[in-house]
Amino acid sequence: MAAILVKPALACSFNISFNTSFEPDAVRLPASEVRRLAEWMINDPAAYEKKEEFHIALYEAPAFGVSHVLARKRTAHLKQLLTTFGVPASMISMEIARYNPGKSVAPNFAHINFMPGCPHPCCPGPEPTSQIR
């Protein structure tokens, strides 16, 4: 999963993830996963006063039925869900990685990574913030 998200390495990395999977050939998540995403938004990102970024990452895997077009539709669906839950489009980045059997998670896997803004435990300063605000 680390290969799917290419971000600069920092001494302290703090993010909160939501992992899900699409049904084969599906453009949209099933209702049960949309509900789980809504609960995650309420319980995790909502706990932070400042939000920096939401990063959507998933795979393109033509040999496994996930064409580039299907992968783009899936990222658009996840972005639409996040905006429906109140995330500004400017805070959403998206990545479609090439599926690599044996090194990647399942081809229908999708990942949303939330990075809060400061304050959080890894904020720069003399003492990291240890409490969620």
Model confidence at 6, in pLDDT bands (50, 70, 90)? very low
Answer yes or no: is pLDDT of 102 > 80. yes
Answer yes or no: is pLDDT of 117 > 90. no
Least reliable range by pLDDT among 81-85, 98-102, 129-133? 129-133
Average pLDDT over residues 91-114: 94
| Percent of the chain scoring above 70 in pLDDT | 82
Would residue 113 be called left, alpha or beta, if left means φ above 0 and alpha means ψ between -120 and 50 degrees? beta
Model confidence at 15, in pLDDT bands (50, 70, 90)? confident
Rounded to an integer, what distance in angstroms lies between the CA atom of residue 62 and that of residue 59? 10
Least reliable range by pLDDT among 1-15, 61-75, 80-94? 1-15
Q: Give the other-Cβ count within 10 Å of 58's Cβ.
A: 28
Q: What is the pLDDT of residue 123?
A: 77
Fold annotation for 17-116: 60s Ribosomal Protein L30; Chain: A; (3.30.1330)
Alpha-helix runs per DSSP H in the chain: 31-43, 68-84
